[in-house]
Structure formats: structure tokens, C-alpha cells
């Protein structure tokens, strides 16, 4: 849990979380750690709230995530793409796997100089078991997911699906400079430049 911030109002001083203060006053959200059901629905609610407050002013999303569950990641993706207020993404450490897809989906996408992205094929989240028909069904579903993710990345990078398929055939890491060259990011900003654009 992060340290509390102090909120001064006509009712005196009260403590609120730093995340709440940044969200309400600066329209800044965070995607950190593994993407799962809890983090995805929390992000979804925050985007709804900020859109209800102002559907035009941009929302800044800072991501530092190793990735996570694809289905829950797609809920976050849909919120980013569907937000009326443009969402600007900032990679502040790493955005791996599903995290890289979410980062690439931003209206504007910037990376700190030493941050990294990583892409790879969808992975099975649990051990395979069952009969031959069940295993084939799992395999077919995984291939469909791979194709869908490749289409999303091709759309956001301007690359072909064939190029994306090659990039995701193994764990492919990108420095900030490489991410810009690949069309995964729009630019590199240092901490002070990010702060200037968020206040």
C-alpha cells in the first residue's frame, strides 16, 4: 500500500491514497503488476469514471507490467480503445506480453529511456489435460488467440500480420529506441518531460 496524500478542503484535511489523488486531480491511472480479473475491472471502472467527468481531456496511463491473463487484458484493451477521452500510454519500466499490447493501443505512446517492451506468442496458463479432442480444442483456441493478437498489433504498429507473427514467435525484447522504430511507441520521454505533459 502506498503512502497517503493529504487533501485540503473546506472540511479540513483528510488522507486519501496517492492513486486516488492522481486520478481525480491529474487524470493519471496505473497498470502495475500482473494483469488479472481484479486489476482489469478496477481499471475499467476508473476509465468509466474519468470519462463521466470529462470525455475530452486526455487520460495518462502509466504501465509497468509483466503481462498476465489474455481475457482480462482484452477487457483493459477495450477500455483503452473505447474511451471517449484519448488515452496516452507511458511505459515506466516494462510492458511485457499482454502489457505490450495494451501499451501499443494508446492514442499516444511514450517510453522512459530505459524502459522495455516484450512480445511473444500467447501461452497456456495451465497444464494441458484431457482426451485428444479436448487437447485439439485447446490448441485451436490458442491459434485463434494468436491470430487475433497479431491482428491487433499489426493495426497499432502499421506492420503486416506476417511481420508481427515473426516478431512474436519467441520472446522478443525491445529497447525504447527499437520500440519506436518498430511502431510500438511514438517516442521517448524522460521523467521531467512526462511530468510537464501531465500537469
**Choosing from 120, 134, 147, 156, which is the catalytic residue?**
120
Is 97 among the catalytic positions? yes
Cell output for 99: 502489457
Is position 120 annotated as part of the catalytic site? yes
Q: Which of 44, 36, 28 is nearest to 92 (CA)?
A: 28
Catalytic residue among 60, 83, 97, 115: 97
Give the DSSP letter string of the chain: -PPEEEEEETTEEEEEEHHHHIIIII-EEEEES-B-HHHHHHHHHHHHHHHHH-SSS-EEEEEEE--B-HHHHHHHHHHHHH-SS-EEEEEEEEEETHHHHHHHTSSEEEE-TT-EEEE-----SS---S-HHHHHHHHHHHHHHHHHHHHHHHHHH---HHHHHHHTTS-EEEEHHHHHHHTS-SEE--HHHHHHHH-
Which residues carry out catalysis? 97, 120
Amino acid at each position: 500500500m502506498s503512502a497517503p496524500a493529504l487533501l485540503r478542503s473546506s472540511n479540513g484535511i483528510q488522507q486519501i491514497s496517492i492513486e486516488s489523488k492522481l486520478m481525480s486531480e491529474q487524470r493519471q491511472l496505473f497498470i502495475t503488476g500482473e494483469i488479472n480479473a481484479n486489476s482489469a475491472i478496477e481499471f475499467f471502472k476508473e476509465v468509466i469514471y474519468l470519462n463521466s467527468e470529462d470525455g475530452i481531456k486526455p487520460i495518462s496511463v502509466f504501465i509497468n507490467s509483466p503481462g498476465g491473463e489474455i481475457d482480462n487484458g482484452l477487457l483493459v484493451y477495450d477500455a483503452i480503445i473505447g474511451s471517449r477521452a484519448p488515452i496516452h500510454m507511458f511505459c515506466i519500466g516494462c510492458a511485457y506480453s499482454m502489457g505490450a499490447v495494451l501499451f501499443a493501443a494508446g492514442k499516444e505512446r511514450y517510453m522512459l529511456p530505459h524502459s522495455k517492451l516484450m512480445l511473444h506468442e500467447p501461452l497456456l496458463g495451465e497444464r494441458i489435460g484431457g482426451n485428444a479432442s479436448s487437447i485439439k480444442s485447446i490448441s485451436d483456441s490458442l491459434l485463434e488467440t494468436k491470430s487475433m493478437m497479431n491482428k491487433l498489433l499489426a493495426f497499432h504498429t502499421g506492420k503486416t500480420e506476417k511481420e508481427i507473427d515473426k516478431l512474436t514467435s519467441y520472446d522478443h525484447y525491445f529497447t525504447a529506441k527499437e520500440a519506436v522504430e518498430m511502431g510500438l511507441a511514438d517516442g521517448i520521454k524522460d521523467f521531467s518531460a512526462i511530468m510537464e505533459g501531465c500537469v
